[in-house]
Amino acid sequence: MGRRHVIADWDATYDDPILLSKGEELWLTGKSADWDGYVWVWAKNEAGQEGWIPDNLAKDVDGKTFAKTEFSALELTCRQGEALHGTAEIHGWVLCKNSVGSVGWVPARNLTRFAKA
């Protein structure tokens, strides 16, 4: 993914974001939201944490819902002008690492790629 430049401040939204392990059972509430053309659904994990997850992360098996992959909804607070390293992108969000090693999701619309020299 590479280096990104923060073009608009972002403050992490949740203090206790939902964490999922691959294969973990989860429960969908039926609540959904559109984020820049992508569908996110409200989920609850086995530990009781709740939060938004990408709609394509959940799979139904015999009437139960499970996480297809590991997922953390941890967001990264960042400020305009900051340089980040993007490692993954999903549903309009980029997983980034800052200069002190903190990792979390930042909206793609708040970032731009560094121009190549």
Delimit the domains of the chain by residue range: 2-13+74-113, 19-72
Q: Give the CB-side neighbour count of residue 7, counting CA atoms within 13 A.
A: 10
Confidence of residue 117 (pLDDT cuts 50, 70, 90): very low
Confidence of residue 115 (pLDDT cuts 50, 70, 90): low
pLDDT at 1: 73
CATH code matching the domain that covers 2-13+74-113, chosen among 2.30.30.40, 2.50.20.10, 1.10.8.100, 3.20.20.70: 2.30.30.40
Q: Which residue has the higher pLDDT, 7 or 116?
A: 7
SS3 (DSSP) at 110: helix
Question: Which residue is listed with tokens 């993954």?
Answer: 88
Provide the residue type at 107 as one letter: P
Does residue 101 carry a pLDDT above 70? Answer: yes
pLDDT at 114: 60
The secondary structure of 31-70 as a DSSP string is EEEEETTEEEEEEE-TTS-EEEEEGGGEEEETTEEEESS-
Q: Which residues contact 36 (CB under 8 A, 6 or more apart)?
A: 92, 107, 108, 109
CB 37 within 8 A of CB 93: no
Instruction: List pLDDT tens digits, range 39-72.
Output: 999 999 999 999 999 999 999 999 999 999 999 9
pTM of the complete model:
0.90
